[in-house]
Chain A
């Protein structure tokens, strides 16, 4: 159809051999992305209003034909495909009056160039469009010229789906508010309750709790102190503290504007987003946080009754304090660059020594502390790396995390130092015979650490490309914890099942 009309309906995409009607655009100012396209999605375009510019006309010039829209005399809008001619030098778009229609001079019109690429197996991609608005000024021989007064352009290649999604959330929340007001009842999006709980509490991050608690139990078991009931209670209580912390963190970050300001959240950073998605209210999230802390408190009391000791009391109090003060005013530890150290203490020595103390009825040990060091440092590094893509939003609300304060080089050096220290502590501990030799299994995680380092260097400034490294960084903590645990289980097996002195320490 297009060749008959003399000009292409759609623009050529460089490097695309599948373009069905790939005639080159006539203007030399065409701007076309050459980067890989985001997958086609049913999301709606995000309006990005900006002042009329040569850039918009250049985009429109890539379209030989466009949809001309105006409001007809009967009050209905009309849209017709027309051939357009962009005049960059005079800043106008020209078109002929469509046959069979009358457009009065001065009529406000919109001219929309729209592109998709049909995929042979079904569907389409490469969605983009540009619209300019302005009054239609009459020209000789039935032609009109529009000098754009307003522009709207969207290109899915410029804005990945997650970013487009986040930008549109405020509009969606307003829609639900209006709908709720119209109906006199709360209208909100739905998710199955189980999935909603899973997402709101960020339950997958519980591995950060399992690692130190299980290790604390293992270290205690190696010295012959292990009780199943209190071990289970400890694990469940620590998990609920963690879930409560996650939920409270979302509440306070939302109330202080940090999560709303974050336009580049990933599945590892930026919170659960259940509040931003209007899936729950702040009140419901607050109730959930209180509920999680409540369960943890009850279980904590039970542990104190069963295995109470001054050391355990101190650890429980410190754990609750860090958890609550993490984002809650006035302390807001994470807003003051203390998030990493708080996380390290809470998810390292507090949990590991806490679990150990419950089993040993109040004892503390150098061995348990040393084992907690890599767990502490690496869990702090989860937060630290996850804060990298959040740093712009965090900075805008005064959340002064370390990635906000430090340069890229300093942040990566900080990560390197923490990871090296994590490995070094275990090596030194094993060499000094404080730790069993199988603890050195954690060195198997060195290649993973190298991979994370490379990812940080390459993708520091690209939140979505950084996601693989963020996932690997989380895995590093989990795998180091697992390798240490395997090392301890081997040692315990050697001691107990074989009924002799630990081979690995001999």
Chain B
């Protein structure tokens, strides 16, 4: 589902302790989930750095193709900003598959250079809640990562 989803929702904890939800494009790299954020939205990055506890959900039916379910994944997030300029490029094939408009923007990089100065946010799942039919008015199926279960 994460690989099929065009957009999901990342919820982080803001400095006042309240949740903040950002629509974002989830990208798989191997078996890991990545999000990428431009430095233009540095507030989001700062929130994740300050508190890496996040949750990510896929609820948007528009980008799910044949999938009908919904999922929420509680995660530990790690921000990688070692190479803002090119560190995210390994995700480009997956990103342009989901959002082909990125190719055109990349060509206009000189005009909007900071769009492509980006951090990577790597999500390590802890718990997962799955609603196979998208019925969130019914109890979800829950899975727990092995290290969390211990």
Name A residues whose Cβ lies closer than 8 Å to a Cβ of B: 1-2, 4-5, 9-10, 20-21, 39-45, 47, 65, 67, 69-71, 75-83, 96, 98-100, 108-110, 112, 114, 116-118, 121-125, 127, 129, 131, 133, 161-162, 165, 168-169, 171-172, 174-176, 179, 187, 189-191, 195, 199, 267, 277-279
**B138, A124: Cβ atoms under 8 Å?**
no
Judge whether A277 and B113 touch: CB under 8 Å: yes
Q: Which of A1, A77, A121 contacts B61 (CB 8 A)?
A: A1
**Are B38 and A42 in contact (CB-based, < 8 A)?**
yes
Given contacts A127-B23, A129-B23, A279-B113, contact A99 B138 (CB under 8 A): yes
Task: Say yes or no: B113 contacts A189, CB within 8 Å.
Answer: yes
Residue among A129, A168, A174 having the largest count of chain B Cβ atoms under 10 Å: A168
Q: Are A80 and B62 in contact (CB under 8 A)?
A: no
B99 at the interface (CB under 8 A from A): yes
Cβ contact within 8 Å between B126 and A76: yes
Nearest residue (CB) in B for A43 is: B115
B18 contacts A110, C-beta separation under 8 Å: yes
Q: Which of B57-106 contact A (CB under 8 A)?
A: 57, 59-63, 68, 70, 72, 74, 81, 84-85, 95, 97-102, 104-105
| Contacts A/B (CB < 8 Å), 18 sampled | A1-B61, A10-B62, A42-B25, A43-B38, A44-B22, A69-B20, A69-B55, A76-B126, A77-B11, A79-B55, A99-B137, A100-B139, A100-B140, A161-B112, A172-B114, A172-B117, A191-B109, A278-B114
Report the nearest A residue to B74, measured CB to CB: A76
Once the chains bind, are B6 and A190 in contact (CB under 8 Å)? no
Q: Tell me the dominant secondary structure on chain B's binding face.
A: mixed
State the CA gap A10–B23 with chains docked (Å): 14
Q: Bound state CA distance, A108 and B44, in angstroms? A: 19
For the complex, what is the distance from the CA of A195 to the CA of B116, rounded to whole Å?
A: 15
When A and B form their complex, what is the total count of cross-chain residue pairs whose Cβ atoms lie within 8 Å? 216
Known: A67-B11, A172-B114. 15 other contacts (CB 8 A): A1-B133, A9-B61, A10-B60, A41-B105, A71-B19, A79-B19, A81-B59, A99-B136, A99-B138, A108-B17, A165-B112, A168-B40, A179-B81, A189-B39, A267-B111
> Are A108 and B60 in contact, with the CB atoms below 8 A?
no
Cβ contacts under 8 Å, B22 to chain A? 44-45
Contacts of A189 in B (CB 8 A): 39, 84-85, 113-114, 117
- CB pair A124–B6 under 8 Å, yes or no, is yes
A96 engages B137 (CB within 8 Å): yes
Chain B interface size range:
35 or more
Q: Which residue of A lies closest to B110 (CB)?
A: A195
**B120 an interface residue at 8 Å Cβ cutoff?**
no
B→A interface (CB under 8 Å) = 6-7, 9, 11-13, 17-23, 25, 36-46, 53-57, 59-63, 68, 70, 72, 74, 81, 84-85, 95, 97-102, 104-105, 109-115, 117, 126, 129, 131, 133-140, 142
Contacts of B7 in A (CB 8 A): 114, 116, 124
Does the CB pair A21–B62 fall under 8 Å? yes
- Looking at A43, A77, A121, A161, the one whose CB has the most chain B CB atoms below 10 A away is A77
Task: Identify the 8 closest CB pairs spanning chains A and B, nearest first.
Answer: A44-B41, A175-B42, A168-B40, A69-B19, A81-B59, A100-B139, A1-B134, A112-B21
Decide yes or no: A171 and B9 within 8 Å by CB, A4-B134, A42-B99, A123-B99 being known contacts: no
Residues of B within 8 A of A80 (CB): 57, 72, 129, 136
User: Which residue of chain A lies nearest to B86 when distances are taken between CB atoms in the complex?
Assistant: A190
Chain A residue nearest to B57 in the complex (CB): A79
B137 lies within 8 A of A169 (CB): no
Q: How far is the CA of A10 from the CA of B140 in the complex (A)?
A: 22
CA distance A98 to B131 in the complex (A): 12
CA of A124 to CA of B57, assembled, Å: 18
In the docked arrangement, what's the CA distance between A102 and B131, Å?
17
**B133 lies within 8 A of A81 (CB):** no
Contact flag A79-B11 (CB < 8 Å), given A99-B136, A108-B18, A168-B40: yes
B41 to chain A: which residues have CB within 8 Å? 44-45, 168, 171
